[in-house]
Amino acid sequence: MAVLTIVAVTIVLTGCPPRNETKKNKAAKSNLLNNIDSTTLINHLAYLSSAAMAGREIATPGNQLAREHIVHTFDSLQIGKTGDSYLQPFPFGHENQQGTNVIGVIKGSQYENNYIAITAHYDHLGVRNGDIYYGTDDNASGTAALLTMMAYFKQHPPKHSLIFVAFDGEEKGLLGSKYFVSNCPIPLANIMVDVNMDMVSRNDSNEIFATGIYHYPTLKKYVDSIQPFTPVFIRYGHDGQKAGADDWTNQSDHFPFHQKNIPYLYFGVEDHPDYHRPSDTFDKVNKSFYYQVCTMITAVTALLDQAYNPSEGYAH
Give me the residues that bind Zn ion (CB under 5 A), please. 138-139, 198
Count of Cβ atoms closer than 10 Å to residue 84 Cβ = 6
Cα 217 from Cα 126, distance rounded (Å):
37
Beta bridge partners of residue 100, listed in sequence order: 89
Cα 290 from Cα 308, distance rounded (Å):
27
Smaller CB separation from Zn ion, 152 or 266: 266
Cα 236 from Cα 213, distance rounded (Å):
7
Gyration radius from the chain CA atoms: 18
Give φ, ψ of 12 to 5 degrees. -60, -45
Residue 198 CB, shortest distance to Zn ion, in Å, is: 4
For residue 81, the one-letter residue type is: K
How far does CA 220 lie from the centroid of its chain?
A: 17
Smaller CB separation from Zn ion, 253 or 305: 253
Smaller CB separation from Zn ion, 104 or 135: 135
Residue 3 CB, shortest distance to Zn ion, in Å, is: 37
Residue 224 CB, shortest distance to Zn ion, in Å, is: 26
Smaller CB separation from Zn ion, 171 or 305: 171
Smaller CB separation from Zn ion, 200 or 303: 200
Residue 274 CB, shortest distance to Zn ion, in Å, is: 13
Smaller CB separation from Zn ion, 139 or 295: 139
Residue 260 CB, shortest distance to Zn ion, in Å, is: 20
How far does CA 267 lie from the centroid of its chain?
A: 7
Cα 61 from Cα 98, distance rounded (Å):
12
Count of Cβ atoms closer than 10 Å to residue 291 Cβ = 22
Cα 105 from Cα 309, distance rounded (Å):
20
Residue 49 CB, shortest distance to Zn ion, in Å, is: 13
